[in-house]
Amino acid sequence: MDKKDFKPFVPADSDLKELSVKAIVLGVLMAVILGAANAYLGMKAGLTVAATFPAAVVAMAALRALKGNILEENIARTTASVGEALVAGAIFTIPAFVISGVWEELRYWESTLIMLIGGILGVLFVTILRRSLVEEADLPFPESVAAAEIVKAGQGGQTGAGAVFMSMGLAGLWEFFKNSNGVHIIGNYAHDFFAFTKSKVDFLGERLSYKGGFIFETPAASPALAGVGFIVGLRVAAVLFAGAVIGWLVLVPLGIFMNPSLADFSQGSSWVDIGSEVWKTQIRPFAVGTMIIAAFYTLYKLKDSLFAGIGKAIRDLRAKKEHKAEVSRLEIDIDFK
């Protein structure tokens, strides 16, 4: 996007209210609700979805009734999005203390302090990196661009709130017939074990008799997971599905094949339990390792832009202006001094 051609939707000299009480209260309320929902999805599905779009729609609908303006809608939406992002960072890191044995149980106050410090650092880094990584970089930011278009479309009377609340109603009806606390007529999923016929296999110079198989499990009948798949799109959903196929139909049978002693344990339990145990103890740690490698690779690809942005931000903070002129509200950052 060419910065010279960019014109803000709200002029810099506008006197519209922006940081108001109703915008902050609405934003915090949405952050709590959407953050809790994303925490559940993140722990269940292994990924989270952006709260930007539902927050933009709800903020428009609520603030229109409260006679708010577009800047207040932006504050409320951004507050909800930041809260959801903070929760996403927490659920992918804090449980590691328990899983690794550093913590014997979840520590509430320590976790709260970690998230508080993380949120403050996030705001500070956004402040010093905003110009170099956002304004002066040729980046499309489809999520933010889409959210801006939603908010601007709402100024013409179209909020899309009806579609959002209709989807919520359908999801609630779906869950009512699936959940045991409702009218339980739909199962969450079905699974079974398909055994192979016994065969002779040459392995390490010996001819051994093997009888393997694989677990077959239907996708979970969850409206939340269906919504996640719709939001992340076909490409991301296909990658997740491919990982599940490789894990359950290739790696789990391979793990059973490479451990013939598991046949002795199968006498007292089903092959479904054996396959699930192989997935928990062998396949899942392998998947976690690939995620860690992907995270380091992503950081490695961003190193040049990140270091350049930090360096420029430090130089800008050290620079002293001899003449202080009137600055546009769009150019004012938090004062670190």
Task: Say which range, 114-118, 214-218, 243-247, 274-278, has the weakest mean pLDDT.
Answer: 214-218
Per-residue model confidence as pLDDT tens digits over 128-183: 666 656 655 555 555 666 677 777 776 666 656 677 778 778 888 887 887 777 77
User: In angstroms, how far is the first alpha carbon of the chain from the final one?
Assistant: 32
- Angle made by CA atoms 232, 233, 239, in degrees to the nearest 5: 85
Asked if 15 and 65 touch (Cβ cutoff 8 Å), the reply is no
Per-residue model confidence as pLDDT tens digits over 197-220: 666 666 666 776 666 666 777 777
How much of the chain exceeds pLDDT 90, in percent? 3
Name the helix (H) or strand (E) containing 143. Answer: helix 142-154
Task: Say which range, 255-269, 302-316, 322-336, has the weakest mean pLDDT.
Answer: 322-336
SS (H, E, C) 46-69: CCCCCCHHHHHHHHHHHHHHCCCC
pLDDT at 329: 66
Task: Say which range, 58-72, 132-146, 207-221, 270-284, has the weakest mean pLDDT.
Answer: 132-146
Mean pLDDT of 45-57: 77
pLDDT at 70: 83
pLDDT at 29: 92
Asked if 69 and 17 touch (Cβ cutoff 8 Å), the reply is yes
d(CA 88, CA 40): 10
Mean pLDDT of 284-305: 80
| Per-range mean pLDDT, top range of 126-135, 296-305, 327-336 | 296-305
**What pTM value is reported for the model?**
0.64
Rg of the Cα atoms in the chain:
26
Provide the phi-psi class of 101: left if phi over 0, else alpha when psi is between -120 and 50, else beta: left
Q: Is the pLDDT of residue 36 over 50?
A: yes
Mean pLDDT of the residues in the chain:
76
Mean pLDDT of 72-84: 86
Asked if 23 and 76 touch (Cβ cutoff 8 Å), the reply is yes
Domain residue ranges in the chain: 3-159+303-331, 191-301
